[in-house]
Amino acid sequence: MNLKRIICFCLAALLWIGGTFGQEKTVEKLTLEDAIVKALKNNLDLAVQVLSPEIADRNLAAAKEYFLPGMSLDFNSTNTRQPSSWSLESTGILTQKQNTYGMALTQQIPTGGNITMSFGRDRSDSNQSYQTFNPYYRTQLQFDFNQPLLRNFGPLVSRREILVAANDLEVSRSQLEASVLDTIYRVQEAYWNLFFAIEDLGVKRQSLSLARDLLAKNRKEVEVGTIAPLEILNAQATVAAREAEILSAEASIKKFNETLRSLIEPAGGPSPELADRPEFTAVSISLDEALGTAMARRPELRQARTAIQTREIDFRIARNQLLPQFDLALSYWSPGSSGDRILYLNDNPLTGVIVGSEKSGASKAVKDAMKFLYNNWRIGLTLSVPLGDVIGKANAARARLNLEQSQAQLRAQEQRIHLDVSDAVRNLETNAKRIDAYRVARELAEKRLEAETKKLEVGLSESYFVLDYQERLATARSNELRALVDYNLSLALFEKIIGTSLEKRNISLSGIGR
C-alpha cells in the first residue's frame, strides 16, 4: 500500500515538473502606445512633477481665504481686592469684579480696506459706596470701515496673492505639460532606437551568415586547388569583423532596452517584445501653420507669458508703494447700559442710606444697543509722506528690470521655437526623401551582390569583391532602416515641438500619474 502511494506521488511530481518545463514563457508584446501609457502612469520623474500643480492649487485656495470673513472671540475676567483709600469708597477692603465678552466679524474688501462689526458686553460688580447701578451692564455694537486711499488702494494690491497663486498654478501646469511632451518623445525615441538596434542586429547576422558561407565555400575550393589560400584569409578577416559588429549591435540593444524600461517600468521587468514597426506616412506640412500652432500651444511660451503677468503685477504694486500713505477711517457705534438700580433715602446717593433696588438684567443693555438709541460716529484721515523712500524706489526699479527681463526671455523663447519648428519641418522633409533614396540604394546593392555572386560561381570574380558587395548591402539595409526610423522620430519630434502630442493621443493632464 505504501509502495503504491509512493509511485503515485512520483508520477504526479513528474507530471507537474513536465508541465512546468513544457510551458512556454510568455513574452510581453509592447506597442508604442502601450509604452507611452505606461510611461505616463509609472515614470518617476512625472510622478514628482504631477505634485506641483496640486501644491499650486492648494496655495491658490489658501490665498482666496483672504477674502473670507474672519471672526474673533474674546473673554476677560478681572477680580481685584485692595484696601479702601478714600472716603467715597467702602471701608475695609474694596472688591471689584468685571467680566468682558467680545465678538468681531471682519471682511476684507477688494478695494484694499476692511469692514468690521464688533459687539462687546461687560458686567462689573463692586462693593464701593454711593453707586447708582450694581451690578452694572454695558453693551456696545460698533461698525468700523478702514480704507487706504493712495498706497495699498485698489483690487490689484488686495488680490495680489490670489493673482500670483493663480499664475503659479498655470506655470506648474505648463511645466507638467512640457514634461509630458518630453516623456512621450523620449519613449518614442527609445522605442524606435531599440527597434532599429534589433533589426540592425538581424541585418548584421545575415551578413555574417553570408560571410561564413563564403568562407566555407573558399575552404572547399582551396582543398581542391581551385583558388589560392589567400582567399580564405580575406573571408576569415571579414567574418571576424562582422562578429565584432554583432557584439556592438547586441550592446546597443541592451542599452536602448534599459532606456525604454527605465521610462515605462522604473521597478524593472522583463525585456518587452516590440509589436510595432515604423511606417512611412506622408504628411503635408505648412511652415506657417506649424509656427502658428507652436506659438499657441507650446507650454514654455504659456509659462513665459504667465511669468510676464506676474512681473507686471509686481511692478504695478511696487509703483503703488511709492505713493503717500493716506487712509480713511470711519466708525459708528451704539451703546447700551443697564443694571440693578440702587435706591437711596430721599433719592439722594450722598446719604448713603439704601432703601431698596430695581432689578434690571443684561438683556436691556443689549436691546438698547440694537435699537441705536444713541448715535455716535467718528471720521479720521491719516496722511503719511516719506521724506526719502530709498527702499521703495529700489524695489520699483528691481520690479521694472524683472519685467523687462521676462519680456526679453519671451522674445528669445519665441525665436528659439521659430528655429526649432523650421528645423523640424526641414528634417521631416529630408528624412522622407532619404527613405526613397536608401530604398533605391538597397535594391541596387542587392542586384550588384547577386551579379557578383554569379560571376564568382563561374570564376569571373574573386571572393574579395563578393565580400565587399555583401558589406555594401548590409550598410544599405541598415541605412534604409535608419532612414525609416529617423523619419518616425522626426515626426514625433515635430509633434512635440508644436505641442500636439497630447491632443493627437487624447491625453488629459488630469489623468497623468493616476
Q: Please state which CATH number belongs to domain 29-60+161-314+394-511.
A: 1.20.1600.10
* Cβ count within 10 A of residue 292: 13
| Rounded mean pLDDT, 306-333 | 95
pLDDT range class, residue 340, cuts 50, 70, 90: confident
Q: Which residues contact 321 (CB under 8 A, 6 or more apart)?
A: 151, 152, 392, 395, 396
Instruction: Provide the pairing of β-strand 70-83 with 29-30.
Output: unpaired
Question: Over 70: is that where the pLDDT of 1 sits?
Answer: no
Helix 44-64 crosses helix 32-42 at what angle (to 10 degrees)? Answer: 50
So where are the chain's domains? 29-60+161-314+394-511, 76-108+113-151+326-384
Tell me the pLDDT tens digit for each residue of 106-159: 999 999 999 999 999 999 988 777 777 888 899 999 999 999 999 999 999 999
Taking residue 169's Cβ as centre, other Cβ atoms within 10 Å add up to 21
Cell matching residue 225: 586547388
Nearest to 277 by CA among 38, 36, 485: 485
**Helix axes of 230-264 and 160-223: crossing angle, nearest 10 degrees:** 160
State phi, psi for 375 to the nearest 5 degrees: -90, 120
Where are the strands (E) in 64-204, listed by range?
A: 70-83, 93-108, 114-126, 133-148
Amino acid 512: pLDDT: 65
Residue 412 near residue 304, CB atoms below 8 Å:
no
Give CA torsion, residues 443, 449, 451, 454, to 10 deg.
-140
- Nearest CA to 304 out of 203, 406, 218, 377 is that of 406
Query: How far apart are the C-alpha atoms of 431 and 436, rounded to whole Å?
Result: 9
Residue bearing cell 502601450: 34
- For 426-476, write each residue's pLDDT tens digit: 999 999 999 999 999 999 999 998 998 888 788 787 777 887 888 888 889
Residues 219-262 pLDDT 10s: 887 777 777 777 788 788 888 988 898 999 899 999 999 989 88
Helices (H) and strands (E) in the chain, counts: 12, 9
The reported pLDDT for the residue numbered 8 is 44
Enumerate the β-bridge partners of residue 381.
328
User: Residue 152 corresponds to which amino acid?
Assistant: N
Q: Are 139 and 121 in contact (CB under 8 A)?
A: yes
Statement: residue 355 has pLDDT above 80: no
Cell of 354: 439704601
**CA nearest to 138, candidates 310, 298, 369, 320:** 369
Cβ contact 22:264 at 8 Å = no
- Tell me, what DSSP letter sits at residue 68? S
Tens of pLDDT, residues 163-174: 999 999 999 999
Confidence band of 6 (pLDDT split at 50, 70, 90): very low
Contacting residues for 404 by C-beta, under 8 A, at least 6 apart: none
Q: Pick 503 or 327 by higher pLDDT.
A: 327
